[in-house]
Structure 1
Amino acid sequence: MTEHLWSFSTESGHLTGTDLTGWRVEATDGHIGKVDKHSDEADDSYLVVDTGMWIFGKEVLVPGRAVTRVDPDNETLHLSLSKEQVKDSPEFVADKHLADRQYREEIGQYYRMPWQFPGGGAF
Structure 2
Amino acid sequence: MNEHMWTHSPASGYQMGTGLAGYKVEARDGEIGKVDKHSDDVGSAYIVVDTGVWIFGKEVLLPAGTITRIDQEEHKVFVSRTKEEIKGAPGFDRSRHLGDPGYHRQVGDYYSRLPM
TM-score relative to the length of structure 1 = 0.88
For residue 38 of structure 1, report the CA deviation from its aligned partner.
0.5
**Are positions 1:82 and 2:82 aligned together?**
yes
Q: Which residue of structure 1 aligns with residue 70 of structure 2?
A: 70
Shift, 1:15, TM fit: 0.7
Mapped partners of 2:3, 2:94: distance in 1: 26
- Which residue of structure 2 aligns with residue 91 of structure 1? 91
- 1:41 is displaced (CA, Å) by 1.4
CA distance in structure 2 between the aligned counterparts of 1:47 and 1:99, rounded to whole angstroms? 16
Equivalences, count:
115
Percent of aligned positions with the same letter in both sequences? Answer: 48
Report if aligned partners of 1:3, 1:9 keep a CA contact under 8 Å in 2: no
CA distance in 1, matches of 2:92, 2:3: 24
CA shift digits 1:23-80 (9 cap, x unpaired): 0000000000000111111111100011111001111110001000000001000000
Structure 2 unaligned blocks of 5 or more: none
Q: How far apart are the structure 2 equivalents of 1:83 and 1:94? A: 21
Distance 2:101 2:51 in 1: 23
Secondary structure at the aligned position of 1:4 is classed as helix
CA distance in 1, matches of 2:81, 2:103: 20
Q: Does the CA-based 8 Å contact 2:67-2:80 persist in structure 1?
A: yes
Output the CA distance in 1 between the equivalents of 2:114 and 2:28: 16
1:3 positional shift: 6.6
SS at match of 1:107: helix
1:15 is paired with a residue of what secondary structure?
coil
Query: Structure 1 residue 39 and structure 2 residue 42: aligned?
Result: no
Checking the alignment, whether the CA contact within 8 Å between 2:96 and 2:103 is kept in structure 1 is no
Q: 1:25 touches 1:49 (CA, 8 Å); kept in 2?
A: yes
Amino acid at match of 2:65: R
TM-score by length of 2: 0.93
